Amino acid sequence: MSLLALHEEAFSSEEGCYDWFVDNGASKHITNNSNYFTNFEVFESPRGVIAANGKIIPTIGKGTLKIVTKVNGEKQFKELKEVWLVPGISKNLFSVLATHDKNKNSKFESTAEECWLKINNKAVLYGTRNESGGLYKVHMEVLIPNNPIEVNLATSVDSLLQLYHERWGHQDKRHVKSLLNHELNIQVNIQEELCEACIYGKAHRRFQYFVVFKDQFTKFRCVFFLKQKSDVASALQEFLAYATNLGHIVKEVISDNGGEFDNKEVRMFLKKKGVVQRLTAPNTPEQNGGSERENRTIVEMARTLKISNPDVEFPPALWAELINTSVYILNRTGKSSVKNVSPYELWTGKKPRIKHLRIIG
């Protein structure tokens, strides 16, 4: 990854975002405005600038600007090439070093309040600063093109997270974000977009059944996907362990009298845990009406999600993901036994995040 260190004032917002300042330490010209470019090239590999606090801010690409400078009342029209686009900074920076690299006969001169950049002994840039110090403000303007290059800022910046998400084996993006910050000192935002490869690669396509455990008071649901009905026993063990770790005490399990619940393995496990097992009478689904309605609610929501967007065709392999999504939504937005409190909050003691929820597809 290519890095560029900048003066700490480059991240100050005291001046307008359209002003330009001389930075003797920066090795590249820097702008925060994507509308300036007459041509633009997106970086193929990650690059960034180092802020004053040591954090790395991602860059997007580089391009050319048309500028006009004012020196001794004279306007000079020029091109500024290889300017980096860094939306995360508040000041546009003119790099003396970049100019020296391009022009061997260039020279930078300065006093306490003024500065000049000369090429072949002719002043081509003039700047001033306050007596109190700080960066020199350049007497320069960018000529914004009538048809500026379109740069997708969100996609370009956030693609860093997706890039490392793919490089590191499609691990959870929250973990990748943390690792980028801790190991590479790179700050990125979590994207709302899903990773298509993850959806297909991690889909519960091998499972034929699902079982839902719902707490009677909080209305919180846990869904488990099963390859065969006999896997209910292991799912029940996992659910009870999860509930216990959160400090909940499960006193009773109510289910129908299907063989997946009414068997020796389940009975012995519940007895060992001190949990009462209550089975409904045969052919009396009304005794377990809550579970019947719950399954219907989840399946109907999943089916509605599937058909709500006519432009998207969900393959059968993603049916389990729709079930999982339905349970996720119901836990965070559905009703509980307490008014205006979600099942998730009652179950975990934490208020859920719901701003990230989007229309599926």
Q: Where does the pLDDT of residue 44 fall: very low under 50, low under 70, confident under 90, or very high at 90 and above? A: confident
CB burial of 186-214 (b: ≥16 within 10 Å; e: otherwise) equals bbbeebeeeeeeeeeeebbeebeebbbbb
For the chain, the domains span: 20-143, 157-193, 209-348
Q: Band the pLDDT of 145: cuts 50, 70, 90.
A: confident
Which 3 state secondary structure label does DSSP give 49?
strand
**pLDDT single digits (tens) 108-139:** 999 989 999 999 999 999 999 886 668 899 99
* 3-state class (DSSP) for residue 357: coil
Q: Between vectors from CA 184 to CA 178 and to CA 189, what angle results, nearest 5°?
A: 45
CB 141 within 8 A of CB 27: no
- List CB contacts of 338: < 8 A, sequence separation 6 or more: 346
Question: Average model confidence (pLDDT) for the chain?
Answer: 82
CA dihedral 207, 324, 318, 298 (to 10 degrees): 90
- What does each C-alpha distance from 69 to 14, 200, 231, 334 come to in angstroms? 23, 55, 75, 61
CATH architecture assignment, domain 209-348: 2-Layer Sandwich (3.30)
Please compute the mean of the pLDDT values over residues 60-70 and round it to a whole number: 90
Q: Which residues contact 182 (CB under 8 A, 6 or more apart)?
A: none
Q: What band does 170 get if pLDDT is binned at 50, 70 and 90?
A: confident
Phi-psi map region of 211: left, alpha, beta (phi>0 left; psi -120 to 50 alpha)? beta
Checking if the pLDDT of 30 tops 80, the result is: yes
Residue range 150-167: mean pLDDT, rounded: 64
